[in-house]
Structure 1
Amino acid sequence: MYIRLSKGNTSKFTKVYLVEGYRDENGKSKQRIVKSYGNLEELEAKDPNILQKLKDEAKNMTKNQVNITLNLNSSNDDMEVDQNYGYFFLERLYEDLEISNFFKNKMNNKKYVFDVDQVFKLLLYSRILNPASKKATVENRNQFFEPFDVTLDSVYETLSLMKEIKGDLQLHLHRKITETQGRDTSLIFFDVTNYYFETEIENELKKVGVSKEKKRTHIVQMSLAIDQEGLPVGYELFSGNTHDSTMLIPSMIDMKERYKMGRVILTADKALNSGKNLAFLVSNGDGYIVSQKVRGSSKAFINKILEDDGYVYNDSKTFKIKSFLRERSTKDENGNDVLLKEKVVAFWSQDFDSREKHKRELLEDKINEYLTNPSKYKASNRHGIKKYLKEIEVDTITGEVEDKKTILKFEQDKYERDVALDGYYALVTSEIDMPDSDIIERYRGLWRIEDSFRVLKSDLEGRPVYVRREDRIEGHFLLCFVALLMTRLLENKLCNKYSIRKIQEALKNATCRKITSGIYSLNKQDDVFRTLENAYDVSLNYKNVRIEQIRLYRKEIVHNVKN
């Protein structure tokens, strides 16, 4: 910016203008008046040094890229649509992870009529900022500061391609995270979930099963592993009719071979605590920390848990813990005997006990209702109470067992035993030398993977799935996996101060609107976005701004280029 003095042939006054140079949309160099200060003679009458001050101010504006106050005649209705610039931070992560280089190297010998990298960027950024169907994503491709030249056909072709490279891309990302974050895979959290579809056409992946939302529909199963920082390590897809417990072994084999991992201590919940799974881990030199179901276990195990001997209480008597060693024999996947040497960590929590007691009050109300009115007891409402009520066919006059009328018998002993177990929890581990407190602490980290599934399903809207073909289903979930990784990286960058949902909203709301040639109006941003800017040492906290300033801001974020 600079100061221009202009004096007409017939005027005795010198006009003072603030002028800036810019390039129009065709790249031509032009100038425009940003502000008129009035007549120089009148300004100098008030301040003899005003001209030098204005020149210094203009120079400072250029140097610091400050906000420009504009007097605009156009109404808001005449302005163009909002364009997102929050995705600049996603571009930075994309560059840090060198995903463009991955595609460049991977596609080196293959020719496509479209840019795979650009299509992947559009799908990825849109999945984070504005999750939608693939068709809607293409229709909204102009929402970005620099629109993507992408067609729906190229999107579907890219999704199909993702099936071929999903393992290689996961490996590439793992290496970059290890290089930049110092990833530690000695402890891995592992769990499985499923996703339902809105289409009913079946293929090798889509099979009818019961979804986690209790819907009987076509689903696909997913296993997911994350590290101690909550960053996803790898995933696998399985057909919808695959049992949860059978996914651990193939997932671990694939991940360890692909990543060349050393010894892993795997942490999982009781759904994956099968003898075959634990035997597999031990036989391959790995370890485990898993929850152990207390109710429904052997009488000897329950008695050991309830036995007060060995428990250590905290000062307030609201928590107690003990551990003991045991050996047991199980079978591996080939039917061979494997001896498991384990530590059992048992603990009781008053908070946990209180929560279960509250649930039990509701359970008792249902039990009493059905004991009083057995005709209300049906297959559809037996969940949670079936084990306490036994159906007996009797003759109400003679008392003989006949096919006359059904009465319900309350299994008092079973109920009282379960009441006694309220508040108790047990963990089983191969790490017999690990302190009890460390075992509990590591297991508690399992919430991170449960939260990751929530993010995948809700924040990133990974389900329901709308694509039909198997290869495109694979592509959809690869996108979701990379989106989860990038949002977790942003969450960690902000020291876990904000949820992924809040970060998404902050990025989504970072929009600008073209109000005249080369000049944009910026939406006011929230504290989350300002915190993100501070984390990357950038700022665009203005009302109106030149296009060159936005482009410089982008360079500062993506390429760490400072003015």
Structure 2
Amino acid sequence: MYVKTATRRTKDGQEIRYLQLAHNEWDADAQRSRTKVLHSFGRADQLDRAAIERLVVSLGRLLDPDRAAVLSAPAGLEFLEARPLGGTHMLDGLWRRLGIDATMKRLLAGRRMDARAERTLFALVANRALAPSSKPAATEWINSDVHIDGLTVIDEQACHRAMDWLAEIEPVLAKDVYFQVTDLLNLEVDLIFFDTTSTYFETDQADEPVARDERGRLLDQPAGPSATGDDNPDGAGEKVKLRGFRSYGKSKDSRPDLPQVVVGMAVTRDGIPVRVWSWPGATGDSALIRQVRDDLREWTLSKVIYVADRGFSSATNRKALMQGGTGYIIGEKLRSGTAEAKTALSRQGRYATVADNLQVKEVKIGSADRFIICYNPDQAVRDAAVREQLISQLTEMIDGTDTLSRTKRAELAGVISTKPGLHRFLRQTPGGLLRVDRAKIERETNLDGKYLLRCSDPSLSPEDVALGYKQLLQVERGWRDMKSIIDLRPVYHRREDRIRAHVLLCWLALLLIRVAENATGQTWTTLRAELQRLHVIAYTGPSGTFRQSTELTKPQRDLFTALDVPAPKKILDLAVAD
């Protein structure tokens, strides 16, 4: 296929040139090639050049950027390379809008460090958001596969030094980022959602226990006779603990065979992650929210209600969260909860329907706390279906066991005890017979679709309490994205400070992703795919080398506008030859 020129002469002898899109076809009968005109562009002197340019750009999208750049290179210039630009340019724009670069540069002042540390950390954050990989692979990605403003070549050691510095400045950086984000985005920060997860390491060797304080921080002095490996649930005094950072614990990744660390995250009602924490892998959840409360209190926030799941509902935690005028909304355990919870569930009353088919009612039991029972009819149907399936499976397992010996029945009961869902409904008679516990089924039926909330704030309506707790899903969504999009796990670092820095890089990547999603209303997967189609092309010639960005599509332009990020310049770099 090619552009053909046809010439015609007018009556007055003037020569007119016409441009046509043509290609040659083989005529089998005539045994010769014939020219077939596919489209006529009209007179050459009246050509709609803007329309031709749009056609070329449109056809160029069907090709790989590298190949399109080679074919469209201006005369006398040699194509060098093409790299994705859109994703890093957008993330860099948000990085600067949120003042992260300014904070890091301020903290760099007067330090004997590479001045590119801020750029290096941005590049590592962009890698987590766009193409998560190990640090050696991330270094290669930065050097060869992407365009990052202000950073051309970097080595792995520079990345590690920048990470070490990030772990050092985290308290100041987190505070500055929080106030920049809330002010710039005008966030409503009356609810802080907190939850934890765990992330594992591809090694079968845990770290050696070392002396730590209650918050899992390393202590300078060795552990003395008072050192203990137990938690201090009452929070009385600072006990020295012997813990390795990478250690075995209750895994939330279903990998109890691997060492892990515990990671906590605080999120606003808008889904913006404002801070993360890292603790040794054997740390229990119950005491962690007190540290979160103390750390965020240093930010001198206005009144904040902390929202947390059932793992944080101890009396010590509730007392700590009430200090300084703050409060809490905490899920309460239903099956093995407090006497107050059992009393609340036994009280009668009418439910009021709120959003998303959720029904709520407040129960007065004389406690300083308020108790709100939430009921979801759809969830009740699902709970009943799951229970029926479990009971059917249990019945099949114990059917006919009366004829077995007592020893065999005890062995089967031991097997069932390893399956919590089935064991919940198993009852053993004094004679050792295995039965389905009908009384337990009746009690469980009364809990279908229900969960119980404990709230300390008297001003919130029951509806606000229920909907606020439901937004705890924002944290769970954050964990899903941290693990599936940003690749928090598995972690390949060995040193504790590097592990903490890795978690911080993932947090900063999630922060930029959430800001982008909230501003555009699109998922990160969609945003990333569209933006990564924007490339920077490098050419060289007798006069020098230059880099230029490809043409913006309308969707790309709309995204930059929504994010309040300037579109990239046409010419990004120009080096004139000597």
C-alpha distance in structure 2 between counterparts of 1:524 and 1:283, whole Å? 53
| Code of the aligned partner of 2:378 | D
The alignment status of 1:221 with 2:262, answered yes or no, reads yes
- Root-mean-square deviation (Å): 3.8
Match of 1:176 in 2: 180
TM-superposition CA deviations, 1:460-504 (whole Å, max 9, x none): 11111111101111111111111111111101110xx32223323
| Code of the aligned partner of 1:116 | A
Structure 1 residue 184: Cα displacement: 3.2
The alignment status of 1:448 with 2:459, answered yes or no, reads no
Structure 1 residue 390: Cα displacement: 3.5
C-alpha distance in structure 2 between counterparts of 1:81 and 1:380, whole Å? 62
- Checking the alignment, whether the CA contact within 8 Å between 1:194 and 1:211 is kept in structure 2 is yes
Structure 1 residue 437: Cα displacement: 1.2
Q: 2:207 aligns with which of 202, 211, 221?
A: 202
SS of 1:233's equivalent? strand
Q: 2:523 aligns with which of 499, 512, 522?
A: 499
- Checking the alignment, whether the CA contact within 8 Å between 1:162 and 1:474 is kept in structure 2 is no
- Checking the alignment, whether the CA contact within 8 Å between 1:344 and 1:428 is kept in structure 2 is yes
Q: 1:355 aligns with which of 364, 382, 393?
A: 382
| Code of the aligned partner of 2:259 | H
Match of 1:411 in 2: 437
Match of 1:282 in 2: 322
The alignment status of 1:365 with 2:370, answered yes or no, reads no
C-alpha distance in structure 2 between counterparts of 1:281 and 1:114, whole Å? 41
| Code of the aligned partner of 2:290 | I
Q: 1:145 aligns with which of 133, 144, 147?
A: 147
Structure 1 residue 196: Cα displacement: 0.8
Structure 1 residue 278: Cα displacement: 0.6
CA distance 1:303–1:148, shift in 2 (3 Å): same
Match of 2:93 in 1: 92
Structure 1 residue 314: Cα displacement: 5.1
Q: 1:473 aligns with which of 494, 499, 516?
A: 499
Q: 1:310 aligns with which of 315, 334, 349?
A: 349
- Checking the alignment, whether the CA contact within 8 Å between 1:509 and 1:523 is kept in structure 2 is no
C-alpha distance in structure 2 between counterparts of 1:107 and 1:72, whole Å? 42
Please, which runs of 5 or more residues in structure 1 have no aligned partner? 1-12, 17-44, 329-340, 395-405, 541-546, 553-563
Structure 1 residue 186: Cα displacement: 2.2
SS of 1:92's equivalent? helix
Q: 1:190 aligns with which of 180, 190, 194?
A: 194
- Checking the alignment, whether the CA contact within 8 Å between 2:352 and 2:361 is kept in structure 1 is no
| Code of the aligned partner of 1:276 | T
CA distance 1:151–1:519, shift in 2 (3 Å): closer
SS of 1:326's equivalent? coil
SS of 1:208's equivalent? coil
The alignment status of 1:385 with 2:422, answered yes or no, reads yes
TM-score under structure 1 normalisation? Answer: 0.74
TM-superposition CA deviations, 1:244-269 (whole Å, max 9, x none): 11110012101211x11132111111
C-alpha distance in structure 2 between counterparts of 1:69 and 1:506, whole Å? 17
C-alpha distance in structure 2 between counterparts of 1:183 and 1:501, whole Å? 24
Pairing 1:109-148 to 2, within 5 Å after superposition: 109-113=110-114, 115-141=116-142, 142-146=144-148, 148=152
Structure 1 residue 407: Cα displacement: 3.4
CA distance 1:523–1:470, shift in 2 (3 Å): farther
- Checking the alignment, whether the CA contact within 8 Å between 1:234 and 1:255 is kept in structure 2 is no
SS of 1:101's equivalent? helix
Match of 1:251 in 2: 292
- Checking the alignment, whether the CA contact within 8 Å between 2:549 and 2:571 is kept in structure 1 is no
| Code of the aligned partner of 2:102 | N
Structure 1 residue 520: Cα displacement: 6.5
CA distance 1:261–1:408, shift in 2 (3 Å): same
- Checking the alignment, whether the CA contact within 8 Å between 1:159 and 1:476 is kept in structure 2 is yes
Match of 1:321 in 2: 360
CA distance 1:512–1:380, shift in 2 (3 Å): farther
Structure 1 residues 141-150 or 509-518, which shifts more? 509-518
| Code of the aligned partner of 2:282 | N
SS of 2:169's equivalent? helix
SS of 1:131's equivalent? coil
Pairing 1:424-443 to 2, within 5 Å after superposition: 424-443=450-469
CA distance 1:480–1:537, shift in 2 (3 Å): closer
CA distance 1:102–1:364, shift in 2 (3 Å): same
C-alpha distance in structure 1 between counterparts of 2:459 and 2:564, whole Å? 45
TM-superposition CA deviations, 1:421-456 (whole Å, max 9, x none): 212222111123321111111111111111011111
SS of 1:244's equivalent? coil
Match of 2:572 in 1: 551
| Code of the aligned partner of 1:250 | Q
Match of 2:508 in 1: 482
Structure 1 residue 144: Cα displacement: 1.9
Please, which runs of 5 or more residues in structure 2 have no aligned partner? 1-13, 18-41, 61-66, 73-77, 209-243, 402-408, 574-578
TM-superposition CA deviations, 1:269-322 (whole Å, max 9, x none): 111111111111124321111122222336774464254x3213559xx76432
Work out the number of aligned pairs and report it: 468
- Checking the alignment, whether the CA contact within 8 Å between 1:201 and 1:468 is kept in structure 2 is no
| Code of the aligned partner of 1:185 | V
CA distance 1:387–1:119, shift in 2 (3 Å): same
C-alpha distance in structure 2 between counterparts of 1:535 and 1:109, whole Å? 37
